[in-house]
Amino acid sequence: MHLENLSATTIDGQEQQLKLYAGKVLLIVNVASKCGFTKQYADLEILQQEFGPQGFTVLGFPCDQFGHQEPGDNAQIAEFCETQFKISFPMFAKIEVNGPDASPLFEWLKQEKAGLLGTESIKWNFTKFLVGRDQRVIDRYAPTTRPTELRGDIQQALSLPYTSADK
């Protein structure tokens, strides 16, 4: 399975093929509005502004599986992101990242890059996956890793030429 074969629902309810992001470096994050890490939205937006023109995109996926920290509906989440953080990167509809109803995207991400001690499950909000231009998962980062700490990894990924994942 490749990222280009997957789709996700945008926060405003539109089905979007993820092949739209082919050739871009992606930081895919499960986010929440009422989490101790919620302030990372600001860092994610900084990265989007800094690296977006070079072919980088943050993709935010709200999730309510950890401590009921994303209780709102998609409209409330979108409003929160706009009013509190002026988010410009794509936000998607609320999903599950673990269990039988887990998003196929997060199932793929977890299979591609296991967590600490080889565990696949997402442990908390703001787990981050860096995906290269070739649609391969470069690395997985813990919720405690601030997004701005990833600058070097993002720059390195952006410096690599785009080649199709099928080659």
Return d(Cα 54, Cα 77) in angstroms, integer. Answer: 27
Rounded distance between C-alpha atoms, residue 163 and residue 1, angstroms: 17
Element (H, E) at 42: helix 40-51
Domain count for the chain, please give it. 1
Closest CA to 79 of 97, 62, 96: 62
Contact 134, 24 (CB under 8 A): no
142 within a domain of the structure (yes/no): yes
In this prediction, residue 2 carries a pLDDT of 77
In a domain, 14, yes or no: no
Q: Which domain CATH number covers 61?
A: 3.40.30.10
Which residues have a catalytic role annotated?
35
Query: Does some domain include residue 6?
Result: no
Token pair recorded at residue 97: 């990242």
Structure-token match 């591609």, residue found:
112
- Cα(138)–Cα(156) distance, rounded to whole angstroms? 11
3 secondary structure, DSSP code: G
Please check whether residue 30 lies inside any domain of the structure: yes
* Domain assignment of residue 80, given as a range: 21-146
How high is the pLDDT of residue 114? 75
**Contact status, residue 53 vs residue 25, Cβ threshold 8 Å:** no
Residue 61, SS3?
strand
Rounded distance between C-alpha atoms, residue 60 and residue 78, angstroms: 11
Query: Is 131 among the domain residues?
Result: yes
Report yes or no on whether pTM surpasses 0.85. yes
Q: pLDDT (tens digit, 0 to 9) for every residue of the chain, 167 residues total? A: 678 889 999 999 999 999 999 899 999 999 999 998 899 999 999 999 999 999 999 999 999 999 999 988 999 999 999 999 999 999 999 999 999 999 999 999 999 887 666 667 899 999 999 999 988 999 999 999 999 999 999 999 999 877 664 44
35 in a structural domain: yes
